Amino acid sequence: MKFDHFQFLMGNMFQAGTDAKIPSKYEEIVPQHLHPLVLAYIGDAFFSLYIRTRLLFFEQNKVRVLHSYDAQMVSAVMQALAYKALEAELTQEENNIVKRGRNAKSKVPKSATVGEYRYSTGFEALLGYLYLSGKRERLLEIAEKAFLAISREMTKTDKDSGEIK
């Protein structure tokens, strides 16, 4: 971030109680105009919170266990898998958002292939778009279906060893 951009943020965004208008909700945010990586940033935060909350139905005492499952479930590999499981159920508009996110250029971590990372970014962009658009019912429907698809994948038995993945 450039220093003058940082100064602008400090002068306008973070000074509550001044004359700067701080939106109370998202009335001034137009999700269609946001960069897909910004949508993915919001979608990532939503999906992480959704998964963490959803895991509380299974475990409420062991933070290490919760974190272990959460980290696996929100990984790029699992999000790409979830997207592919849901792809046929998405509307044309939703697929367009995924495509925008998938095509956005970003650095790919070593923990996933380029394809997995691109699809997970597209999936997160879709979640961010739905969240900021106020489409809560559809957002929760997609998040739950993704949770189930990821859960099924994680509990598949390895045919060779008989161990849970």
How far from 74 is each of 50, 80, 109, 150, CA to CA, in Å? 10, 10, 14, 9
H helix intervals, the chain = 3-12, 36-55, 63-73, 76-86, 92-103, 114-133, 136-154
3-state secondary structure of 135: coil
DSSP 23: -
Q: Contact, 47 vs 80, CB < 8 A?
A: no
What positions carry a catalytic annotation?
A: 44
Q: How many CB atoms lie within 10 A of CB 108?
A: 15
